[in-house]
Amino acid sequence: MAYKFHAPGTRKGNKFWIVRGRIDGHQFEIQTGELSKGEAEKAAPGLVATWLTDKIAKLENPAPVAKRDDESAPKTFKRAADAYCEFVSPSRANILIINRLTGVIGDKVCSEINHKDLVDAATILYPTLKASSKNRQVMTPASAILRYAAEMKWCAPWEIKRFKEQKPETKALRPEERDLVMSVAWNAEVTALLTFLFFQGMRIGDALKLVWEKVNLDLSEFYTRIGKTDEWETKPLDPDATVALANLPVGPAGRTGRGFPLEEPRRPVPRLGED
């Protein structure tokens, strides 16, 4: 049987070597608990054998099917929240938020919940938080749960009105702060990227996708895809950004490929005994 081994840090931040493979159409992925590939290769046969034994046992003795809820029971918010969580498998943080909410309105029947109930719940649970936090902690999860309840025909669908939020304040760097950041750039590529970001005002993800084939330095413009809107646009180049791009070194093949070919730094894998 052929295995594939994955080094630490290559599978969602794994700290140890991982062995992967397939047996009778069933794929497995097992943490070996080893920091060296040699030790992982030694441990792999036993780990795979244990996994296979457990798999066969589960197939021969399947878990009993859970009983469905009593359909005659009241269609409460708590029941709807449980059904919603079973369907979407939310994160632990979101489960805690939902649990707090059901502690206040869990016994209320879905079809009888109104907007005042949700406003009162937000006031009880988070009296000092801003409107944005009340929306995130109460209105958003309540909307998702009641929308799911409506799909189960437990209540009529309705659009939940959110608390009015203040517009976020846009904080731009002052010129002296911008110059300080620029002063620590360690090469021409980083200087050009910072200049492009500061003077074009683009998101860094969009800037890193810039390719020379879509840049026209003579016309001081470039063609780019805006990630937030998923649209392509022709944009003018700021004079400072044009100069910064023009000053970048030209490769043997000319100006081709990515405009800012920066490699993302990788975090070192900690050794045994290190935090």
The predicted structure's pLDDT at residue 44: 83
Instruction: Choose the weakest-confidence range: 16-20, 56-60, 92-96, 165-169.
Output: 56-60
Of 85, 81, 88, residue with least CA distance to 104: 81
Instruction: Choose the weakest-confidence range: 5-14, 93-102, 211-220.
Output: 5-14
Strongest mean pLDDT among 10-19, 39-48, 125-134? 125-134
Helices within the chain (DSSP H only): 37-60, 77-88, 92-105, 115-125, 131-134, 140-151, 175-183, 188-200, 204-208, 239-246
> CB-side exposure of 41: number of CA atoms within 13 Å?
5
pLDDT at 155 over 90: yes
Confidence at 25, pLDDT banded by 50, 70, 90 = low
- Range 194-200 average pLDDT: 86
Ramachandran area for residue 13 (φ above 0: left; ψ -120 to 50: alpha; else beta): left
For residue 79, count other CB atoms closer than 10 A to its CB: 20
Confidence at 185, pLDDT banded by 50, 70, 90 = confident
Phi, psi of 46 (to 5 degrees): -65, -40
**Mean confidence (pLDDT) of the chain:** 83
Asked if 138 and 118 count as a contact pair (C-beta separation under 8 A), the reply is yes
Quick one: CA dihedral 5, 9, 12, 14, positive or negative?
positive
Q: Is the pTM of this model over 0.75?
A: no
- Between residues 201 and 243, the one the model is more confident about: 243
What percentage of the chain exceeds 90 in pLDDT? 30
- Between residues 151 and 56, the one the model is more confident about: 151
